Structure 1
């Protein structure tokens, strides 16, 4: 299709509205322009095509034979466009909302509260993708990420960051690991991931030497919290992740000073997005 060979879309819309309503004035009201603007657009279309499309009859207009043919073609064409746009909107509305986040925040804080979100927004499907790694949300096709950001974080130019809460990082373990005694924190077994430079940095700021750490590796980040509850080692976790375990007595807080406060945030790619994405981000602000 050669767009430059077609009349202007505004002129076609003016004629289509006139044909549907039989009046320049009524077409103007529908299009939110003056009837003079509609009249001028239709006359310009007739000049462009070199054929009369309408006949004036007092305050109304009737279509010529050529006008009838064009009106039918526009009805089919605009109808196809409208149907295509509605199908696209419906498909986007049904598309699963993809959210990447850490294993712990997904399992302990977001998933247990999802029924509350669905009660407010029925029909919005949400798929959480827990991962210990930070992913490129735009490249990987995610609608948003829930991240823990260290102090000094800066907002990337291609992302919108919505802070949710400031949460302290804690050192925790099962009560059986300390047995009501003041532990030697350097000598304790610590559950640390295979490659965790961030954890090593936090240990360094507290005075614990990461190089002499008694590391317990459980093979999967999905098992670390369970291993900690079972007394296999201590670990670092944000307060929001271990809150329920602390309240229930399954874990206790260790006296490790110097740990930072992190910012949990919803991170969204800039640009156009579905209403459901903002609905989920707004809901996250209510649960943190």
Structure 2
């Protein structure tokens, strides 16, 4: 076991190592961004602690004593090993995939279509999207961030940092053929997803009687919007999710009010982060 209390201070060892490499207190000071007097004092303190001279002056330079040469070789090996270990750690972390959890709809409609643009700018950053309707524990489950839709009144948790991206209106939509049928929204079938209580509460906010709705359950959040496009029923989603379908005419908006507005946000675990995580989080802020 390494006995840290028996070792000289790291700052003194760094000062001696820099002096041994440069042959000058002044050059060592410049390398360490301190004064040459501070380096001189640290080296002299190290000599006093070890009880042996390590350097001697030779004009404007310093030369190592025999003891100093032995210590310099040991520090070169030791600091070299530390430097190599840190470099390997940084390289491995730089290559590690940025893991992102988000909803199926946001992943498919808004993030994935724009990923080629991100990779064109940052070709060395790998990103893995994990669509899930569940709210996961980011740190416990190994995720670097989440993209979440937060209802009004959300509170930032102590363990997370929340960076709002945009606000988006929840709207009611259906296929053009269903809208053209002349059927009142109360009489239309409604595609209700996995989060039944939340979606029923949204629809109830429009004034419709949810107890009388004919509900279509497709069993998977991946299929809800597809079911709406196919005319199987009406549904609710944020405008940002429906935007491409509305513009292409695959869906139309139903004239129902009373639906909420949600905030899309990047959620990050608090603590140190890799540069790649910050790069991707910053890019997300430009596409919403």
What does residue range 193-204 of structure 1 map to in structure 2 within 5 Å?
Answer: 193-204=193-204
Q: Map Cα deviations across residues 185-234 of structure 1 (whole Å, 9 max, x no partner).
A: 22211111244221122122222233332111111111111111111111
What does residue range 193-272 of structure 1 map to in structure 2 within 5 Å?
Answer: 193-272=193-272
1:138 corresponds to: 139
- Cα distance in 2 for partners of 1:2, 1:197 equals 59
1:287 corresponds to: 287
Structure-2 change in CA distance of 1:241 and 1:146 (3 Å): same
2:101 counterpart SS class: strand
- Cα distance in 2 for partners of 1:158, 1:115 equals 32
- Cα distance in 2 for partners of 1:5, 1:196 equals 64
What does residue range 33-44 of structure 1 map to in structure 2 within 5 Å?
Answer: 33-44=34-45
1:158 corresponds to: 159
1:87 corresponds to: 88
What does residue range 36-75 of structure 1 map to in structure 2 within 5 Å?
Answer: 36-75=37-76
1:186 counterpart SS class: helix
TM-score (norm 1): 0.97
CA contact (8 A) 2:179 2:254 kept: no
Structure 1 residue 151 displacement after superposition? 1.0
Gaps of 5+ in 1: none
- Cα distance in 2 for partners of 1:193, 1:239 equals 17
Structure-2 change in CA distance of 1:33 and 1:194 (3 Å): closer
1:22 corresponds to: 23
CA contact (8 A) 2:194 2:221 kept: no
> How many residues are aligned here?
287
In the alignment, structure 1 residue 148 sits paired with structure 2 residue 149: yes
2:8 corresponds to: 7
Range with bigger deviation, 47-56 or 97-106? 47-56
- Cα distance in 2 for partners of 1:193, 1:240 equals 18
1:75 counterpart SS class: helix
What does residue range 105-120 of structure 1 map to in structure 2 within 5 Å?
Answer: 105-120=106-121
- Cα distance in 1 for partners of 2:165, 2:127 equals 19
2:218 counterpart SS class: coil
- Where in structure 1 do 4 or more consecutive aligned residues deviate above 4 Å? none
Range with bigger deviation, 209-218 or 160-169? 209-218
RMSD, matched Cα: 1.2
Gaps of 5+ in 2: none
